[in-house]
Structure 1
Amino acid sequence: MRGGRPWDAWLVGGAVGVAGLLALHSAVPNGAGRLGSLLETFLPWLGVAVPLLGCLAVLKRSVAGLLACLVPVAVWLWMFGGLWLSSPPESYDLTVVQHNVADDNADPAGTARALRSTRAGLVAVQELTPARRPVFEDVLGASHPHRAVHGTVGLWSAWPLSDVRPVDIRPAGFPESWQRGLRVTVSAPGGEIAVYVVHLPSVRLGPTGFASAARDESAALLGARIADDPADRLLVVGDLNGTVQDRGLGPLTSRLGAPPSGFAFSWPAALPVTRIDQVLGRGVEVTEVSALEATGSDHRPVLGRILLR
């Protein structure tokens, strides 16, 4: 034990295993239990295993184990170093704040004021109940006089809106009352831009695994709609109940660009470990997404900066 050699195989194997899961996450099967999607939801957190392995290697005096830890470090930096280290450009044309405000929010007025204080030109919300809608209209009305609401999603804008349409992203079997999609055209200072505000179905982790079938179906429906949209500039903002790495959202995210910097973990609000609230674009560049302070919701708001092309 003093030389550490009995631990070498275990530590080297653990380090290589972590690197393999990071680099080859798409090879993890997504059949029963959707384990692949579950892994991809928390993929950056695999990096936590590296310092643990490194400390164990030091304790066991395993030089081979310590050197092996460099492999997952290199893979993690290759995959996520840009999000962690890169600085977004200082210039941008408009900002949008995205927030699932929670239908059980005990302080909707405080939440609305927090969103207004960001001075974003666009404010997109989900889980907006009929009882709380007047509160948001009252707080945001002066700064964002233009609004569009459909079902439980809404958009407040500093600029005029037109061509307001509902977007049906209901999975099979969901009732007609389930309305979580909206498309509008925003007459922004740099030109018109189509904006989708959406809220995909929730996912659950239980004894049978990661239940995301309804969300995946809804993402595919939205992806098809995006593919057919003729708009040159397009934004999708909303609670997607998934990360951009999650293959279940592939039919949607493969058609859109994600920000190149910032983790911006948004859920759960008390101790966020993943970003399921997204700002994605086509024909525009989402230069940065950052998470804001918690409100009365179980999500944190995220602020996206947009560069028009």
Structure 2
Amino acid sequence: MVEQARADSGTTPTVEAAAPRWTRGRVLAALAVLTAGLLAFHRAVPNSVGRLGSLLEAFLPWLGLVVVVLLGLALLRRSAVALVALLLPVAAWTYLFGGLLLPATEPGAHDLLVVQHNVSDENPDPAGTARALADAEPDLIALQELVPPALSVYERTLAPEYPYHEVRGTVGLWSKHPLTDTRLLDIKPRGITEDWSRGLRTVVHTPHGEIAAYVAHLPSVRVRASGLASARRDESAGLLGRAIAAEKLKTVLLLGDLNSTVDDRGLAPLTSQMNVAERGLAFSFPTTFPLARIDQVMARSASVTHIRTLPATTSDHLPVAARITLG
């Protein structure tokens, strides 16, 4: 009778409906495991072909979106095996980036507030940009892509609150505290023949002691069909890393447009010897839809306890503000 009823109704149980939840979604489960592997072992992705490892690391936090999509599909398929497998990438992403989402700690007694901003050499409103940065009331303001006649506008606008400043080439530092022993920093890669000066080193005399401050703008990278073109940036990062390693002052700050994220192995000469932000994602580029934080603040013998973006200026980068805890 049951057989006849099924025949009369014209319906038969589908393979999908009959499949147990533990066998559905095996492809989704495999993708979840792959995503977890990329997160946990991104250093194992080779850079020998198209610098694929660096390309992955530049956008590594966005693998969290892949996890969200896979979760939605797993729920739609009612796949228990996929849901269990998704615990792996969730754990890996949380380990790598979860701490950045935690609330900022309370300011300490020996904190400095610093601002880093690539102001763009095509900025139509340098005065407005300078005022916006000063409104954050930082101790230090590091700028890149300083070109005449905009440079004189920044100098004039910031002078009342930042009486000390140093500029070398297209990078500069404005400070509420005295600056001494400033010098040009040679981070120019081989093969660049034109005038190119994008680094400086100076000493900031804070109430809490002397700090060696480095301001840098590493070469740009390009994503091409052949992969990530970052050889010049990597070479410049190596030169900068060697300069910081040779620095005799104990406490060092690095502020700059490094054209890379702190997860990118291209910045290993820097991240291997300096502390990066403990809190905050602060994606800074591009302004219209920030995809990555390529504007960085790092420290040696100090902690970058929190980093955040400031409201957009008329640059193609967002400014970032970071709190530095000394000692």
Find the counterpart in structure 2 of residue 56 from structure 1. Answer: 73
Query: Which aligned runs of 4 or more in structure 1 are off by greater than 6 angstroms?
Result: none
Amino acid at match of 2:71: G
What RMSD over aligned residues (CA atoms) do the two structures have, in Å?
1.2
- Are 1:300 and 2:318 an aligned pair? yes
Find the counterpart in structure 1 of residue 101 from structure 2. Answer: 84
Which is worse superposed, 87-96 or 210-219?
A: 87-96
Q: Give aligned pairs, total.
A: 309
* Gapped regions of structure 2 (runs ≥ 5): 1-15
Aligned equivalents of 1:176, 1:106: Cα separation in 2: 25
Q: Verify the 8 A CA contact 2:24 2:81 in the aligned structure 1.
A: no
How much has 1:182 moved relative to structure 2? Answer: 0.3
Aligned equivalents of 1:107, 1:176: Cα separation in 2: 27
- Written as runs of structure 1 = structure 2, the 5 A alignment for 1:204-219 is 204-219=222-237
- Are 1:32 and 2:49 an aligned pair? yes
Identity of aligned residues (%): 53
Which is worse superposed, 115-124 or 172-181?
A: 172-181
Find the counterpart in structure 2 of residue 168 from structure 1. Answer: 186
- Written as runs of structure 1 = structure 2, the 5 A alignment for 1:66-105 is 66-91=83-108, 92-105=110-123
- Are 1:277 and 2:277 an aligned pair? no
Q: Deviations over 1:177-232 (max 9, x none)?
A: 10000000011111110100000000000111100000000000010111111111
How much has 1:176 moved relative to structure 2? Answer: 5.6
Counterpart of 1:106 (choices 116, 119, 124) is 124
Amino acid at match of 1:37: S
Partner secondary structure for residue 178 of structure 1: coil
How much has 1:90 moved relative to structure 2? Answer: 2.3
How much has 1:159 moved relative to structure 2? Answer: 0.9
Q: Verify the 8 A CA contact 1:270 1:294 in the aligned structure 2.
A: no
- Written as runs of structure 1 = structure 2, the 5 A alignment for 1:9-20 is 9-20=26-37
- Are 1:137 and 2:142 an aligned pair? no
Q: Verify the 8 A CA contact 2:120 2:316 in the aligned structure 1.
A: yes
Q: Verify the 8 A CA contact 1:93 1:190 in the aligned structure 2.
A: no
Q: Verify the 8 A CA contact 1:293 1:301 in the aligned structure 2.
A: yes
Aligned equivalents of 2:226, 2:66: Cα separation in 1: 25
Aligned equivalents of 2:303, 2:193: Cα separation in 1: 35
How much has 1:7 moved relative to structure 2? Answer: 4.3
Q: Verify the 8 A CA contact 1:87 1:261 in the aligned structure 2.
A: yes
Counterpart of 2:272 (choices 230, 238, 254) is 254
How much has 1:285 moved relative to structure 2? Answer: 1.4
> Which structure would you say has the larger Rg?
2
Find the counterpart in structure 1 of residue 58 from structure 2. Answer: 41
Counterpart of 2:195 (choices 169, 177, 192) is 177
How much has 1:6 moved relative to structure 2? Answer: 6.4
Q: Deviations over 1:70-128 (max 9, x none)?
A: 11111111111111125334225211100000001111111111011010011100001
Q: Verify the 8 A CA contact 2:50 2:227 in the aligned structure 1.
A: yes
TM-score, length-scaled by structure 1: 0.97
Aligned equivalents of 2:312, 2:75: Cα separation in 1: 39
- Are 1:290 and 2:295 an aligned pair? no
How much has 1:304 moved relative to structure 2? Answer: 1.0
Q: Verify the 8 A CA contact 1:83 1:260 in the aligned structure 2.
A: yes
